Chains A and B, each alone.
Chain A
Amino acid sequence: MASDLTENTTSTAPRVNNPIGDRLFRGALIAAASLILIILISMVAVMFYSSRLSIREFGFSFIIGQVWDPIKGEFGALPFIFGTLVSSLIAIVIAAPISVGVAIFLVEQAPKSIARPMAFLVELLAAIPSVVYGLWAIFVLAPFLRVYVQPPLQDVLGFLPFFKGSTTGIGMMTGGIILAIMITPIITAVVRDVLEAVPVTQREASLALGATKWETTRIVLANASSGIAGAIVLGLGRAVGETMAVTMIIGNRPEISASLFAPGYTIASVIANEFTEATGDLYLSALIEMGLILFLVTFIVNGLAKLLIFSVTRNTVQRS
């Protein structure tokens, strides 16, 4: 060890300073990263193996099939893919701007005395178990929407296909909203940290040039955009995989409908609903194939989100 120190003390390559330590460290990190790969690959492998019956039986038509009938042995995933995508889309469209707004307020605008307790309260939203969100949705949110929100929407915008149909309060709209509420604290918490990490100097420089608070905030946002993107991806992932709260309020009807008031069904919900009771090899393997499809959907959604964010932030200055 001593020889290492004397050998290269004047070298500009710090790496050589403690090669064994560095190599062990990097090795450990690579091992950890590989572990996650191994876990996912084995999960996918196990799932592929368990769903081989269904894959062989239905092939590609599984993805475009619209009928889900366990008794007759017909399985199709399209309504669930639709439900997952639409409910998550509603959730992220509502939650992303609001979460970022909250984070901006907490970091940039509010005085510390308000910001700290408020930040704490917002994080508390993440502490509520999803089962409780589901119960609150059935007993409070759905009746509220059914009485105060959906009828007026139908009166004003009823000519659009999105607002047709009977207003029971149970359906895609409520599902999307409860998801939005659930992912808001996640996005807010991460964006808050991201914004706080932007050095004060950036803000000071902007203000010194005569910018308003909001213009300064815009610069901070541009700085932090990749972190914000990461936060949104985190929230999106949660929305796509959320089970309990959604299945209690979305109506669980495997149908594709343009109306926001109509019931829907997500992939996560159908797996959670039917997995424990499913007996019969084809049925079980169809459900596991649904899990694989969820992987695929998450993959694609994440990829699209990243592409979108990349195109938006391409021309802004990024923190490394």
Chain B
Amino acid sequence: MFPFYRLFRFEKHFAVILIGIVLFSTSCFSGRRGKGDPVKIQGAGSTFINPLMQKWVSEYGKLYPNIRIDYQSIGSGGAIKQIKERTIQFGATDIAMKDEDLASAPSAILHIPVVLGAVVLTYNLEGVEKPLRFSPDIIADIFLGKINRWDDPRIRAENPDANLPADGITVVHRSDGSGTSAVFTNYLSKISPEWKERVGEGTSPSFPVGLGGKGNEGVTGQVKQTPNTIGYVELAYAVKNKMPVAELKNKAGNYVVPNFETVTNAAAETINETPDDLRVSITDAAGGNVYPISSYVYVLIYKDQTDEVVGRVLVDFLTWGINEGERFAEGLYYSPLPEAMVKRASAKIALVEHNQKSLRGTAGPDPMN
């Protein structure tokens, strides 16, 4: 006969807790959505677009409380991986998918540009008041390590009034794979044949010199804390941290400050060269008042939606985004899409379908009905 009376309170407590947890857990499976439950959609991807996306999903959620959209920063590459696995319903990426990636996806994926970003050069130089000016070849040579002193004659030639110190340049780049790096190296590859050959472009370039910071905020932090450094970050990080932003000489020969106008212009001026699938690089764009290191941020969705409700919501959400959502862009330091691109993006969204029927225009005040 098992001596129950000898059960130590130690075991009793343990058993009670265990049973409690088991009971609790089994009641906690939602059965993945019944009728009348809120529509739950997961998106993920670019960390760069996160603040704007959070604003969008929050504002959209105010319009339609029954729709819960979650967006999580896991990186542009993460978006591409996860959308191929269908663990997320939409992705956001700073860099367009490559052909091989598109080909290996289960079905066709559309790129919808939603907003613009700019990669700026920021630095830490005591005693330098006005923004420094750089021409493209100087930038390339700094990052190649060929120019390694701040008082180099070439830098001085472009900035005759600046109080440049006689110190070495410490380059700060990204250590993690990033769309920002991809855009920056894409620019460098266009303006410097040596860069293109030695390093190339991509999300994880092997920089010839410099320290690696983790994330935009890591590079910002290192540049801010360490004197005589120069690094590349997204515009918002430099501005919000009150750090200087360099003026770059663009293709037309003008020194431009990165701001909403010059970045949106980069998109507007390149509309005609933009291919039908909207995957395009707009760095080093032609045009007078154009900032040379600008880029689109894309939302990725499947052309053929397997779930009708989810599809309708996605279509409505994205349409809302590129129309009403754009007004939140500037407040968060993103540049809005030019009108011409909004039209083309809308046309792309109209292609999203379910069972060969376009989902466009099926959404009314409440996409659920």
Neighbouring B residues of A269 by C-beta, 8 Å: 175
CB pair A276 B206 closer than 8 Å: no
Q: What secondary structure prevails in chain B residues at the interface with A?
A: loop
**Which stretch (B13-21, B209-217, B311-319, B329-337) binds chain A?**
B209-217
CB pair B75 A169 closer than 8 Å: no
Neighbouring B residues of A133 by C-beta, 8 Å: none
CB pair A71 B206 closer than 8 Å: yes
CB pair B225 A138 closer than 8 Å: yes
Question: A129 → chain B, closest Cβ, in Å?
Answer: 15
CB pair B221 A139 closer than 8 Å: yes
Given A273-B177, A279-B81, the answer on whether A143 and B212 have CB atoms closer than 8 Å is no
Asked whether any CB of chain A lies closer than 8 Å to the CB of B78, the reply is yes
Asked whether any CB of chain B lies closer than 8 Å to the CB of A278, the reply is yes
CB pair A277 B178 closer than 8 Å: yes
A90 vs B73: C-alpha distance when bound (angstroms): 34
CB pair B206 A68 closer than 8 Å: yes
The one of B81, B98, B199, B214 in contact with A273, judged by C-beta atoms closer than 8 angstroms, is B214
Neighbouring A residues of B176 by C-beta, 8 Å: 272-274, 276-277
A263 vs B173: C-alpha distance when bound (angstroms): 13
CB pair B221 A274 closer than 8 Å: no
CB pair A252 B212 closer than 8 Å: yes
A166 vs B171: C-alpha distance when bound (angstroms): 12
CB pair A274 B200 closer than 8 Å: no
Question: B200 → chain A, closest Cβ, in Å?
Answer: 4
CB pair A276 B74 closer than 8 Å: yes
Query: What string of 1s and 0s marks CB contacts (under 8 Å) between B159-201 and chain A?
Result: 0000000001010000111100000000000000000000111
Neighbouring B residues of A142 by C-beta, 8 Å: 225-226
A2 vs B170: C-alpha distance when bound (angstroms): 81
Asked whether any CB of chain A lies closer than 8 Å to the CB of B222, the reply is yes
Question: A54 → chain B, closest Cβ, in Å?
Answer: 15
Q: Report the contact-size class of chain B (Cβ under 8 Å from the partner).
A: 35 or more
Asked whether any CB of chain B lies closer than 8 Å to the CB of A96, the reply is no
The one of A135, A273, A277 in contact with B78, judged by C-beta atoms closer than 8 angstroms, is A277
Given A71-B202, A252-B175, A274-B176, the answer on whether A139 and B210 have CB atoms closer than 8 Å is no
Neighbouring B residues of A22 by C-beta, 8 Å: none
Asked whether any CB of chain B lies closer than 8 Å to the CB of A67, the reply is yes
A1 vs B213: C-alpha distance when bound (angstroms): 68
The one of A134, A263, A279 in contact with B101, judged by C-beta atoms closer than 8 angstroms, is A279
Question: B14 → chain A, closest Cβ, in Å?
Answer: 14
Asked whether any CB of chain A lies closer than 8 Å to the CB of B218, the reply is yes
The one of A67, A69, A253 in contact with B212, judged by C-beta atoms closer than 8 angstroms, is A253
Instruction: Output the nearest chain B residue to A277 by Cβ-Cβ distance.
Output: B177
Neighbouring B residues of A277 by C-beta, 8 Å: 75-78, 176-178, 203-204
Asked whether any CB of chain B lies closer than 8 Å to the CB of A70, the reply is yes
Instruction: Output the nearest chain A residue to B182 by Cβ-Cβ distance.
Output: A277
Instruction: Output the nearest chain A residue to B78 by Cβ-Cβ distance.
Output: A276
CB pair A166 B212 closer than 8 Å: no
Asked whether any CB of chain A lies closer than 8 Å to the CB of B7, the reply is no
Asked whether any CB of chain A lies closer than 8 Å to the CB of B287, the reply is no
CB pair B1 A1 closer than 8 Å: yes
Asked whether any CB of chain A lies closer than 8 Å to the CB of B80, the reply is yes
Question: B261 → chain A, closest Cβ, in Å?
Answer: 30
Neighbouring A residues of B81 by C-beta, 8 Å: 279
Asked whether any CB of chain A lies closer than 8 Å to the CB of B205, the reply is yes
Neighbouring B residues of A247 by C-beta, 8 Å: 175, 214
Asked whether any CB of chain B lies closer than 8 Å to the CB of A251, the reply is yes
A269 vs B101: C-alpha distance when bound (angstroms): 26
A272 vs B74: C-alpha distance when bound (angstroms): 12
Asked whether any CB of chain B lies closer than 8 Å to the CB of A183, the reply is no
Instruction: Output the nearest chain A residue to B76 by Cβ-Cβ distance.
Output: A277
28 A-B residue pairs with Cβ-Cβ distance under 8 Å, sorted by A, are: A67-B206, A70-B177, A70-B202, A70-B203, A70-B205, A71-B205, A134-B214, A138-B218, A138-B221, A138-B225, A139-B225, A166-B170, A170-B222, A247-B175, A247-B214, A248-B221, A252-B214, A263-B211, A265-B175, A265-B212, A274-B204, A276-B77, A277-B77, A277-B177, A277-B178, A278-B77, A278-B177, A279-B203
A contact set with B: CB distance below 8 Å: 1-2, 67-72, 134-135, 138-139, 142-143, 146, 166, 168-170, 247-248, 251-254, 263, 265, 269, 272-274, 276-280, 283
What are the 4 tightest A-B residue pairs by CB atom distance, in nearest-first order? A277-B177, A252-B212, A252-B175, A277-B77
Given contacts A70-B202, A247-B214, 19 further A-B contacts (CB under 8 A): A70-B177, A143-B225, A143-B226, A168-B170, A168-B226, A252-B213, A253-B210, A253-B211, A265-B212, A273-B175, A273-B212, A274-B176, A276-B77, A276-B78, A276-B177, A277-B76, A277-B204, A279-B81, A279-B98
